[in-house]
Amino acid sequence: MRLKIATVGETVLRTKTRKLMSEEIKSAHIQELIEHMRETMEDAPGVGLAAPQIGLPLQLAVIEDKAEYQATLPESDLHERERKPIPFHVIINPELRLLSPPEVLFFEGCLSLAGFTAIVPRAARVGVDALDHKGNPVHIDASGWYARILQHEIDHLGGTLYIDRMRSRSFSSMENYNRHWKSKTQSELILDFSLIANED
């Protein structure tokens, strides 16, 4: 079942989320919700989906970065972004720790702001303590693109969107991103947007 994705401007994306109790996580309702969120994420398609994005202020997100999503990307891009396939999993009531400064710059998008993208500084490494889909404690040490996905989804659970963290001068339609920025390396992007900033 594909759920409606909330878009920027809807209050649920800025609402404080609540934690889920262990018995609640194991309930048929939450287990069914997780499966619907998975189907919605795959259909979009996306690599992550947080409960506020489908209208529910809950500390719950699903994540999966399939190999097929990466099949058309140049090996150099995958290497620079440290992007590898990530199997489907659920994070509930996550606590995030940045293990490096938020200074890695890449373009980022969001299913709740379709058609646009911007450069967002993120930490290269993070640690996350959370509960899984069965309510069991899990610890995640992530780096590269996986760390970026976790930061993005956990931001949603705090009412934060990538546009709150973006380098505003890089905000672009996907059409113009594909035309001007898609093939740029991180160092080229930093230089390009430094030059743009210096034009004022």
- Catalytic positions, written as ranges: 153
How far are the Cα atoms of 27, 33, 146 from residue 84, in angstroms, in the given order?
32, 27, 8
CB 122 within 8 A of CB 114: no
Give kind and range of the element (H or E) at residue 117: strand 116-123
d(CA 157, CA 52): 7
Closest CA relative to residue 159, chosen from 15, 9, 8, 7: 15
| Cis peptide bond prior to 102, omega within 30° of 0 | no
